[in-house]
Amino acid sequence: MHKLSIIIPVFNEEATIAKVIDVVSNLKLINNIQKEIIIINDASNDKSKKAIEQAIKEVGSENIRLINHAKNTGKGGAIQTGIQLATGDYTIIQDADLELDPNEINRLLEKVENKEADIVYGSRFLNKESSGGTGLSNLANKVLTGMSNVIFRIKITDMETCYKLVPSPLFKSLKLVEKRFGFEPEITARLAKHRDLRWAEVAITYQARTEEQGKKIGWKDGFRAMWCILKYGLFTRK
């Protein structure tokens, strides 16, 4: 791998996005892998745009590209914009909050560099020391992941994870349509249809935040995820 594309979708994350940009821009990847950072400001209506621009000035604009959506398209829509711009050999998504530690991206890269896997997911549930979400959210994640394993015929522990390391050409070829958080089950379903791919998971640290701190996913997204698992797992081709 020569270069990694890191896509950061942003919607109303003025409190955390500058820190995320700082950490990601200073991240040293293993084996001298280069990186490009693609930030999609998904029509934020707070001070996220200003915070992003200031952070880019402070860290330097080299290898960072900012795209501002005129209308909000949701996380999935922002990622779809980002992947079309990606030029790296592999692509990974980085959320604009501080729930995950960008330094742990190297854990996923090791699996590819060691030729152990083609697709790598970061699992929040393999790390016993991680500060997970509420009991209800963890139960929902386990139910959704269990459904995915049965319907997609895979074996993972965290389908809803943000950290999904995917070859960029394959990522670009997927006909993704989900605009919100349905992106997670959709991409997993479409990847699972490529039966020749080798999958792996690595433990990652998870510091869950609350709705008061800006968490956006809710119970309605859980029902949408169930529908997406069925739709893209049973009734949709690659």
| Half-sphere exposure in the Cβ direction for 25 (13 Å, CA) | 20
pLDDT in tens, 26-85: 999 999 999 999 999 999 999 999 999 999 999 987 899 999 999 999 999 999 999 999
> Which residues are CB-contacts of 212 (< 8 A; sequence separation ≥ 6)?
none
The pLDDT confidence band at residue 216, using thresholds 50, 70 and 90, is low
Q: What is the DSSP letter of 20?
A: H
Q: What is the per-residue pLDDT for 210?
A: 54
Q: Say how far residue 41 (Cα) sits from the centre of its chain.
A: 15
Q: Which strand ranges, in their side-by-side order, compose the sheet holding 199-203? A: 64-68, 34-41, 3-10, 90-93, 164-167, 119-123, 199-203
**185 token code pair:** 């089950």
Question: Considering the chain, what is the average pLDDT of its residues?
Answer: 93
Mean pLDDT for 106-113 is 98
Residue type, 82: G
Torsion angles phi and psi, residue 218, rounded to 5 = -135, -175
Q: What is the per-residue pLDDT for 145?
A: 96
Q: What is the per-residue pLDDT for 208?
A: 80
Residue ranges and CATH numbers for the domains of the chain are: 3-234 (3.90.550.10)
Q: What is the per-residue pLDDT for 211?
A: 53
Give the other-Cβ count within 10 Å of 109's Cβ: 21
Q: Is the pLDDT reported for residue 214 higher than 90?
A: no
Q: Given the DSSP bridges, would you call strands 199-203 and 164-167 parallel, antiparallel or unpaired?
A: unpaired
CA angle 15, 16, 19 (to 5 degrees): 130
Q: What is the DSSP letter of 134?
A: -
pTM: 0.93
pLDDT in tens, 117-170: 999 999 999 987 665 666 777 888 999 999 999 999 999 999 999 999 999 999
48 strand-pairing partners: none
> Which residues are CB-contacts of 121 (< 8 A; sequence separation ≥ 6)?
108, 156, 158, 159, 161, 163, 164, 165, 199, 200, 201, 202
The pLDDT confidence band at residue 209, using thresholds 50, 70 and 90, is low
Q: Token match 């699992």: residue?
A: 123
Q: What is the per-residue pLDDT for 222?
A: 83
**182 token code pair:** 């349905």
Shortest CA distance to 94 belongs to which of 41, 48, 163, 38? 163
Residue type, 131: S
Taking the C-alpha atoms of residue 120 and residue 198, their distance in angstroms, rounded to an integer, is 9
What is the crossing angle of helices 74-85 and 183-192, to 10°? 50
Give the other-Cβ count within 10 Å of 173's Cβ: 12
**148 token code pair:** 């995915």
Which tops the pLDDT comparison, 181 or 126? 126
